[in-house]
Amino acid sequence: MNNWAKMLAIFSLLLVVGLNSGCNIIGWMAAPYGSDIEEIDKTAEYTGLEGKHIAVLVAATDDILFRHQDAMLRTSRAMSGRLADNIESLKVMAPSDVIDFQMNNPYWNMSGYANLIDSLGVDAIVVVDLSEYRTHEPGNMYQWKGIVAANVTVAAKNGDVPGQALFSQIIRAEYPEDSKVGVIDSDSNAIQLGMLSIFSRDAAGLFYDHTVVRKTK
C-alpha cells in the first residue's frame, strides 16, 4: 500500500470513528490551520455605574496639550460613546458640556470629587488622567505608533464617603495593537482614531462584560 492509500485509509477510519462518537473530526483536522483571530471574554471589574448619570472628565499634562490640543475632547468623546453604547441604563453627560465646564473652571482637578459631582449635577464621575498620549515612536517622527495611557478613576456620591474614589485602574493601549513597530503610511487623525478606539474599548470595558477580538500572536 503506497503512502497516499495509507493516508486515505487512516482518514476514512478517523471519519467513521468521529461520526460514531459525535466528534467534530473536520474541526479537529482543521485546527492547526485555523483562523489567526481569537475572541477573549472580559468580565466587568466594576459595575457601580449602572443606572447612574455620569460625566467623563479627562485630565492631561501641559506637554500632551502642547502637542495635541484636542486630546481631552477626543478622549472624552471616545470614552463617553463607549459607555453610552454598552450600558443601556447609563446616562452620560455630553463631552462638549464637560469640556466647557473644565475650561470655565481651570482648577477643576483641585476641587475634590464631591465638589465636582455636585457642580456637574451628576451621580458619579469617571476621571481619565492621561499620562501618555502620542502618535509617533519615541524619537522617530516618521514612524507612526499611537499610545494612550491613563489612570481611570470612578468617584460617586453614594459611597460610604460622599465623593470617595471607589475604583481605579491604569489602562495602556497601543495602535497598531498587534505590531511591535509602527507604520509609515498614515496620518495623525487616523492614528488617534485607532489608539482611542482601543483605549476606550479597554478603559470603558472595565465597567461592562464584553468580548475582545484580536489577532493571535
pTM for the predicted model, two decimal places: 0.79
pLDDT band at 15 (very low <50, low <70, confident <90, very high): very low
- When divided into structural domains, the chain yields a total of 2
- Say whether both 23 and 49 belong to one domain: no
Model confidence pLDDT, tens digit, residues 58-67: 999 999 999 9
pLDDT at 193: 96
Beta bridge pairs of residue 210: 42
Cell of 212: 475582545
pLDDT at 181: 62
- Say whether both 67 and 117 belong to one domain: yes
pLDDT at 212: 83
Q: In terms of pLDDT, which residue wins out, 185 or 30? A: 185
Model confidence pLDDT, tens digit, residues 87-146: 999 999 999 999 999 999 999 999 999 999 999 999 999 999 999 999 988 777 788 999
CATH code (residue 76): 3.40.50.10610
Cell of 106: 481651570
CA–CA gap between residue 161 and residue 209 (Å, rounded): 27
- Say whether both 85 and 24 belong to one domain: no
pLDDT at 84: 97
Sign of CA dihedral 139, 141, 144, 148: positive
Cell of 111: 476641587
Q: 126: closest CA among 27, 59, 43?
A: 59
- What mean pLDDT do residues 188-195 have? 94
Q: In terms of pLDDT, which residue wins out, 53 or 142? A: 53
Task: Indicate the length of the chain as a whole number.
Answer: 217
Domain coverage including residue 114: 39-215
- Say whether both 74 and 180 belong to one domain: yes
Three-state DSSP state, 91? strand
